[in-house]
Structure 1
Amino acid sequence: VRTLFMVFLILYILTRAGNAIIVTAIHKDHHLHTPMCFFLSVLSTSETFCSFLVGLSQSISLEGCGTQLFLFLGFAITNCLLLAVIGCGRYVAICNPPHYSVIMNWRVCAMLAFSVSATGFSLSMVQAVAISRLPFCKALIEHFFPHVQPVLNLACATPIINDILTLIISLLAITGPATFLFIPYILIISTILKIASVEGRKKAFATCASHLAVVIVHSGCASIAYFKPKSENSKDEDQLISVTYTVITPLLNPAVYSLRNKEVQDTLQRVVSRNPFPKMRSLPK
């Protein structure tokens, strides 16, 4: 148990530090003020808040539990929708590069970021309000943070409506974005195969593979957590899946996606290479 605690503590610290470095680097370097890096910074910020909510106090009031559930779901759904938006940006950049700057202008980027955030927290609000109306007979959540199913297990009555609502929201937030990316990636792969340069094909495939890996792992863990039948759920399995979804998955953004970006790498190298301490000169005699 102590070993697992240390492993997940290290992963948690790396996740917080990695996302903080990405946001800081993009904010400081004007070379990274691009639509793609903008969405990466929004995703890193959302992931940071999402992982921060996991580390809150063990004792929590009913109102605090509902607030934490609302915030966590809001950021989690926003992350899923952001990955779909980033995938669409990749599609425009590869399949229609001459019009990329026109289509993905700053006004469109700001509207997309606001829309996915508003959608994420709107769906989260519906879920949180529906759960808050239930009568609760237990006070101990058998989980390390307020999660949908463990909170529903505290209800006195069988929350059939809430189960249906959870399924609908999960379909909209997880299955919807993943399915939406299916057609763009078919077109992206088709376009990449037409690139004459072998080096160009490798670069395009590497860029898309990073994003696709994050989407598959993120959507896969979320699907297991929310779509797994209750009869197959055990407390230990639920907690293991949730730890993977809330601790390991957020680490993929800085480790697999952002830090493999050549521009981000160059920025970090420039920051590290700078001498933070000014040279000391002796006073004249």
Structure 2
Amino acid sequence: MDLVNHTWTQNFLLAGFTTTGALQPLAFLGTLCIYLLTLAGNLFIIVLVQADSRLSTPMYFFISVLSFLELWYVSTTVPTLLHTLLHRHSCISSTGCFVQLYVFHSLGMTECYLLGVMALDRYLAICRPLHYHALMSRQVQLWLAGATWAAGFSAALVPASLTATLPFCLKEVAHYFCDLAPLMRLACVDTRWHNEVHGAVIGVATGCNLVLILGLYGGILRAVLKLPSAASRARAFSTCSSHITVVVLFYASAFTVYVGSPGSLLEGIDKHIALVYAFLTPFLNPIIYTLRNKEVKDAMKRVRVRIRTILQEV
């Protein structure tokens, strides 16, 4: 049996988090509640954008795309997290493990590209207001959204396929889902070259998007500072504040784990950091985009009035 075939005939054991006694059911119930709230919050954003015509703008279209992505992103890993919390470990086939690895990184890179597109949308709205609707037509919105998904799922092929061809001597993954760093530690061979390739691919994908975002916000800052009144400057900044918050949350944690060598962190540290960008960020995004956004609050009021009117008529 060759090494590649050996890779595909074994199962992996996800170690998850160490919880004992009364903490185990509490951790499970807390995680399940946050997961269900995450699904409900992101579905609510999607439905609200579709239900209220005043939210039919490029900015809210991309927010709804982000919410749709977050539904899949959080659902890729949380079910195995719940299983490990309930049973203290979770067995996963090698095929399922590598599929999870690929889908998780595809969605993560798609989110990187999508955050860049959302920064471009804010730049055009503030710096090119007269040409904004022509530049960001419905066709362009759809093309940009589709391009982010295509780019994300294409870029993730490299790290996922390289990892899947490695021979593994150990099977216990020190994580709650199949990720690059913990899988690298189980390989029977030297993985330094693989780590360098992974770091380069993921670093370029995330780094270039971050440079793009910073450059676009530099242009936004210059344009906003030229506005005549403090009220107009505050109004312009308010349309960007939610996006900036999401970018900081996502990139700060993702860069810690993936930029450089994916295996450089101490064993077990990466799974705690992963909770931020893979679990908490999808949970916080709907809150950030609703509590910090007056237009969304107004849309919620209009939808409530519409629902109340329909119920009264019935």
Q: TM-score, normalised by structure 2?
A: 0.83
1:235-280 deviation digits (Å, cap 9, x = unpaired): 1x22210111211112232111355333322222233342398459
Alpha-carbon distance in 2 for matches of 1:177, 1:261: 25
Residue in 1 that maps onto 2:111 = 79
Residue 120 in structure 1 maps to residue 143 in structure 2: no
1:193–1:140 CA distance, 2 compared to 1 (3 A):
same
Q: TM-score, normalised by structure 1?
A: 0.90
Q: Secondary structure at the match of 1:200?
A: helix
Q: Is the Cα–Cα contact under 8 Å of residues 66 and 114 in structure 2 kept in the other structure? A: yes
Q: Which residues in structure 2 correspond to 1:174-189 (within 5 Å)?
A: 174-189=206-221
Moved more, 100-109 or 172-181: 172-181
Residue 43 in structure 1 maps to residue 75 in structure 2: no
Residue 201 in structure 1 maps to residue 201 in structure 2: no
Residue in 2 that maps onto 1:162 = 194
1:186-240 deviation digits (Å, cap 9, x = unpaired): 11111111111221111112222221121112111000111376454131x2221
Q: Is the Cα–Cα contact under 8 Å of residues 35 and 78 in structure 2 kept in the other structure? A: no
Q: Is the Cα–Cα contact under 8 Å of residues 152 and 159 in structure 1 kept in the other structure? A: yes
Residue 34 in structure 1 maps to residue 42 in structure 2: no
Residue 234 in structure 1 maps to residue 257 in structure 2: no
Deviation at 1:7, TM superposition (A): 4.1
Moved more, 34-43 or 262-271: 262-271
Residue in 2 that maps onto 1:275 = 308
Moved more, 129-138 or 269-278: 269-278
Q: Is the Cα–Cα contact under 8 Å of residues 199 and 260 in structure 2 kept in the other structure? A: no
Query: How many residues matched?
Result: 280
Residue in 1 that maps onto 2:125 = 93
Residue 23 in structure 1 maps to residue 55 in structure 2: no
Residue in 1 that maps onto 2:4 = none
Alpha-carbon distance in 1 for matches of 2:28, 2:227: 47
Deviation at 1:181, TM superposition (A): 1.4
Alpha-carbon distance in 2 for matches of 1:279, 1:101: 38
Moved more, 66-75 or 222-231: 222-231
Alpha-carbon distance in 2 for matches of 1:75, 1:211: 18
Deviation at 1:30, TM superposition (A): 2.6
1:118-146 deviation digits (Å, cap 9, x = unpaired): 11000112221111111111222111111
Q: Which residues in structure 2 correspond to 1:204-283 (within 5 Å)?
A: 204-227=236-259, 230=263, 232-235=265-268, 237-273=269-305, 274-275=307-308, 278=311
Q: Is the Cα–Cα contact under 8 Å of residues 69 and 128 in structure 1 kept in the other structure? A: yes
Q: Is the Cα–Cα contact under 8 Å of residues 16 and 48 in structure 1 kept in the other structure? A: yes
Residue in 2 that maps onto 1:14 = 37
Provide structure 2 residue ranges, at least 5 long, that are not aligned to the other structure: 1-18, 81-89
Residue 152 in structure 1 maps to residue 184 in structure 2: yes
Alpha-carbon distance in 1 for matches of 2:187, 2:310: 58
Residue in 2 that maps onto 1:143 = 175
Alpha-carbon distance in 2 for matches of 1:233, 1:183: 33
Amino acid in structure 1 at the alignment position of 2:101: L
Alpha-carbon distance in 1 for matches of 2:109, 2:116: 11
Alpha-carbon distance in 1 for matches of 2:201, 2:70: 20
Q: Secondary structure at the match of 2:95?
A: helix
Deviation at 1:72, TM superposition (A): 0.8
